[in-house]
Amino acid sequence: MPLNEFPRLKIAVSDCLRGTHCRYNGGHAQDDFINKDLAKYADFFPFCPEAAVLGTPRETIRLVGTLENIRVFAPKSGTDVTMGILDYTEKTVPKLLAQNLDGAVVKSGSPSCGLERIKVYNPSGQWHAFKDPMMAGVFTAKLKAMAPHLAVEEEGRLHDAWLRENFVIQAFTSARWREFLQGDLTLASFQAFHRDHKYLFMSKHVEIYREMGALVATTRQSNLRESVVGYQGKLFDLLAYRSKRGNVKMVLDHIYGYFKGFLSSDEKAHYHESVQEFVNGIVPLIAIIKVLEQYLNAYGSDYLATQVFFKPYPADLGLRSKIAAYR
Ligand code: SF4
């Protein structure tokens, strides 16, 4: 796939985040990143456990019991709605996963959809602050259990540029892998996938990248399918790591190494100064990428020309323009 083309993402999403009036009070939780940015590049697969089971508007619910025995309870009326929520969850999560999702964005703070820190109350109805357990909402806990590799984030956490950048890389790389699997699987296409992702993967986790490389190197036509399965496991492990500035600098320096023989001492000094400013959180990654792209245009490199690291997702998402996108 050319570097300027991107697969269309398949993203499961809590329906209220799309602006659907399905919250307990008939309201919504429309999120700009989902509906204005991500929507240009994604097909959404919405879900709303509570509206499906309890209707809208409805009384609020909460998790009650212990981590080993969670109940879903509507405290005002004293109704136990566990069976309904679990039934919807058991039916809907497999249907969503059958779509070969690339990620999910879930609503924070919800006993159904939250990713973390959802309070579990005592059966008496009281919550004793940090002494009591907290967990994911019932629906998202099931989604994570059935698809631990999936990029799942809450809309609130995606306001953090670092988490957002990593979520988007994870989703787009999963989508490229999905499309790779749907194409004609050959030894050459497998090797090309790995080659084109070399620097992106190194920026995530060097050791896992090397393990993936060793797997590709020992793959023959006879063990191709088996290798692809093993590779996928390592790929998903690697994508779960969040990029750190140190790893990204190492990749930038590798790429710079292709060109330094062509550069004047002033140009070399400018590169080193710029990359140090990136490491120190003074300039965003896009500034260094633009310098390296300039070298690529001037001096060429067939190997670098197809590296996904230069464009892992659509540029207008603007994530590499944010200094906070790297830590
Ligand atoms: S948080 Fe989940 S259950 Fe609650 S309204 Fe949104 S989609 Fe529905």
Q: Which atom of ligand 1 is nearest to the CA of 49?
A: 3
**Nearest C-alpha to atom 5 of ligand 1 is from which residue?**
23
pLDDT average, residue stretch 74-101: 96
Same domain? 200 vs 322: yes
**What percentage of residues in the chain have a pLDDT greater than 90?**
87
Q: Pairing between strand 118-121 and 134-135?
A: antiparallel
- Lining residues, ligand 1, CB within 6 Å: 14-16, 22-23, 48-51, 107, 110, 112-113
CA of 64 to the centre of ligand 1 (A): 18
Q: What is the layout of strands, in order, in the sheet containing 103-106?
A: 42-47, 9-14, 103-106, 151-154
Contacts of 216 (CB under 8 A, 6+ apart): 190, 191, 194, 227, 231
Asked if residue 2 belongs to a domain, the reply is: no
Q: Which range marks the domain in which residue 147 is found?
A: 9-159
Structure token pair of residue 1:
């796939």
Q: What is the pLDDT of residues 21-45, one digit of tens each?
A: 999 999 999 999 999 999 999 999 9
Q: For a substitution probing ligand 1, which of 13, 45, 50, 72 has the most ligand atoms within 8 Å of its CB?
A: 50
Q: What is the pLDDT of residue 316?
A: 87
Question: Coil, helix or strand for 129?
Answer: helix
Asked if residue 90 belongs to a domain, the reply is: yes
Q: How far apart are CA 270 and CA 161, in angstroms?
A: 27
CA of 188 to the centre of ligand 1 (A): 45
H-type alpha helices, 152-264: 161-182, 187-196, 198-204, 206-217, 224-239, 245-259
Same domain? 134 vs 155: yes
Same domain? 27 vs 54: yes
Same domain? 164 vs 194: yes
Asked if residue 4 belongs to a domain, the reply is: no
Same domain? 111 vs 214: no
Block residue for tokens 């060097």? 206
Q: How far apart are CA 1 and CA 302, in angstroms?
A: 15
229-233 contact pairs (CB < 8 A, 24+): 231/190, 231/194, 232/177
pLDDT at 159 over 80: yes
Question: What does pTM read for this prediction?
Answer: 0.94
pLDDT at 219 over 90: yes
Q: Which atom of ligand 1 is nearest to the CA of 112?
A: 3
Last residue of a domain, one of 131, 159, 187: 159
Structure token pair of residue 312:
């892992």
Same domain? 89 vs 216: no
Asked if residue 25 belongs to a domain, the reply is: yes
CA of 28 to the centre of ligand 1 (A): 9
Q: Which atom of ligand 1 is nearest to the CA of 46?
A: 7
Residues paired with 13 in a beta bridge: 46, 105
Same domain? 84 vs 188: no
Last residue of a domain, one of 130, 159, 188: 159
Same domain? 155 vs 217: no
- Our count of domains for the chain comes to 2
Q: What is the pLDDT of residues 270-306, one digit of tens each?
A: 999 999 999 999 999 999 999 999 999 999 999 999 9
